[in-house]
Structure 1
Amino acid sequence: MESLSIYGTPYQFSSSIRQDKLLRDSFNQLTQLTFGFDFSAWHRAGLWTDGYQPHCLIADGQVVANISVNRMTFCWEGHPLSMIQLGTVMTRPDFRGRGLSRYLMERILQVYGGTVDLIYLFANHTVLEFYPKFGFSPVEETLFSREMPAPSGEVPRRLDADADFSLLLEMVQRGKPQGAFPMVGNRELSLFHLLGPYRDCLYLLPNLDVLAVAEYQGGSLLLWEVFSPQKLSIGQVLAAFSQPGISRAILGFPPNGLGGYALSPLPGGDDMLFVQGPAEELLRKRPFRFPALSHA
């Protein structure tokens, strides 16, 4: 750990808390306090790797501020793009207003700026004026929706995130996301979502060899992601979920073709996208969204 002073107050800095149980527990406590979840189960499953690297400030042996670096690769029109997503931005309430997030942001950008095609993050509405100070610009994402097709007769089998963990792992390892802007080779982040926020949305479509992450909301089907070892029509997947009263499908990823889809601005809510880097202009050229399961 590195000792330093910020506005006259001593802190320690670490980007390797994963190996330190006391600091890892403190980090999880702050994450639970700030966001209502933690990374303990993910770590126990062996899924916390160097691809997710917290950058922490520590006071009196406790993590008091953090910004995490997530190393990502996406495929854009057949070409890989290297990216860093910043996430888990948090400061303990009694340490806010002391410039700790500013220090961490400046330090991270000094190290990683210019090394990847894009650095990006999702900001909540309370800090929208903070990130432009560091060279980030907002980019509007697109909501893709369409009418549900006729039922196919396929019966989705509901999966249990714990009991069916081995099957989930196999499907994520064998399968590929099916959208036009897929995250590449990051099974750890995919499984974080499948074991956490989307654990009640898991379905196997045996005849299609598909793992679908989906849920019904009102009169719509929210299809968050599809994993399959071969390319397939999203319409085939949607048809398996067709039922009376469900008229529209909303995708959590951009489809490979726009025919039949209605496009509208993705509601910002607590997830406004900010970006910087040479790939920024690519994202402004056509409708897109970062896949829901790629959010860190």
Structure 2
Amino acid sequence: MATVTEIGPRDAALQAAFCDYVPQVFRRADFRRWREWGEWDDDYRAYSVFEDGRVVANASVMRMRLRLDGQEVQAFQFGAVGCVPSHRSRGLARVAMTAALEACGDTPVLLFANPTVRQFYPRFGFQPWLQTLFAADHEAVPEGPPAPMLDLGDAKMRAHFAMLSREGLPSTERFGARGYATVASWTVANGFARPLRQLGPDTWVSSSVDGDTLYLDDVFTLAPFDLRASIPRLIDRPIRHIRFGFTPERWWPGAVEAGEDTEADLFVRGFTPSRTAHRFPVLAHT
């Protein structure tokens, strides 16, 4: 019977085997740079099935501080769940999932998955939950000093980013999180995230412009500020629309629902997210 090995932040050799596994299952994903940055901490654990010294199946968990209708809830988010192609149809991903869920106990769990595995997670007690897109019509032109881009390859930048995420205002209270800098840094390390821009020493946003639309994926700040007045510093051409990567009830109350988020399916276990329309911040996805 397959056995599962837990990989933590101090298991260097096992981490290397895990890093070899990931691109075999998720072609565009890699953990090497994130690991080199020192972002694999005690909050992240991988539960891996090994054969002949290599990881062939896995389910990882990231400890999360959820914000749920204004309350903080301790939870875990799953990620990197899968099995290498050569070992599929043997139930190894199920073995890894079972071990990871046992480690979580009764703590609430969530995960995001692509639509091809919609039938897999309900077998473990997960239920799908709708995510909503949010948008606003807003005309603006570039004005003032452009907000500089920030490089998380710099250790000091990462430390400041971690502080903003840990101590700052959550981008949403409806269904979001705090202290997820190591989750966001993984998306940055893989080139999946929009640029981080600095509006002030303690105010960073993740954003970029495509056509006449500003895509605003997240806000990290210690104190409230006027986001609307800051838009001209985030754009390099005139815009007419804004799309949000989170529920913008705090930062843009007039935003409207703009359909269902179909990029990744949310599954939850052991808790009920907000009944009000919401979008879990995209930079908090593992």
Q: Could you state the TM-score of these two structures normalised by the residue count of structure 1?
A: 0.85
Tell me how far 1:97 sits from its aligned partner. 0.5
8 A Cα contact 1:149 1:239, kept in partner: no
**1:48 aligned residue:** 40
Q: Aligned runs of 1:46-195 on 2, under 5 Å?
A: 46-114=38-106, 116=107, 118-151=108-141, 153-162=144-153, 164-174=154-164, 176=168, 177-180=170-173, 181-195=175-189
Letter of the aligned partner of 2:151 in structure 1? D
What is the aligned-residue RMSD (CA, Å)?
2.3
**1:8 aligned residue:** none
Question: How many Å separate the matches in 2 of 1:266 and 1:248?
Answer: 18
Residues 167/69 of structure 1: CA separation in 2 closer, same or farther (3 Å cut): closer
User: 1:186-213 CA deviation, whole Å, 9 max, x = no partner?
Assistant: 332232233333566121123x842111
Question: How many Å separate the matches in 2 of 1:86 and 1:75?
Answer: 17
Residues 259/217 of structure 1: CA separation in 2 closer, same or farther (3 Å cut): same
Pairing 1:261–2:255 present: yes
Tell me how far 1:287 sits from its aligned partner. 0.8
Secondary structure in 2 aligned to 1:55? strand
Question: How many Å separate the matches in 2 of 1:75 and 1:199?
Answer: 22
8 A Cα contact 2:77 2:109, kept in partner: yes
Question: How many Å separate the matches in 2 of 1:25 and 1:195?
Answer: 17
Pairing 1:225–2:215 present: no
8 A Cα contact 1:160 1:199, kept in partner: no
8 A Cα contact 1:169 1:191, kept in partner: no
Question: How many Å separate the matches in 1 of 2:101 and 2:157?
Answer: 39
Unaligned stretches of 5+ in structure 2?
A: none
Which stretch of the first structure deviates more once superposed, 16-25 or 38-47?
A: 16-25
8 A Cα contact 2:208 2:235, kept in partner: no
Pairing 1:216–2:209 present: yes
Residues 224/199 of structure 1: CA separation in 2 closer, same or farther (3 Å cut): closer
Letter of the aligned partner of 1:260 in structure 2? G
Which stretch of the first structure deviates more once superposed, 186-195 or 78-87?
A: 186-195
Pairing 1:276–2:245 present: no
Tell me how far 1:229 sits from its aligned partner. 1.2
Which stretch of the first structure deviates more once superposed, 232-241 or 82-91?
A: 232-241
Q: Could you state the TM-score of these two structures normalised by the residue count of structure 2?
A: 0.87
Question: How many Å separate the matches in 1 of 2:248 and 2:197?
Answer: 20
Bigger radius of gyration among the two: 1
Question: How many Å separate the matches in 2 of 1:96 and 1:248?
Answer: 44
**Equivalences, count:** 279
Residues 32/43 of structure 1: CA separation in 2 closer, same or farther (3 Å cut): same
Secondary structure in 2 aligned to 1:133? helix
8 A Cα contact 1:159 1:202, kept in partner: yes
Pairing 1:30–2:11 present: no
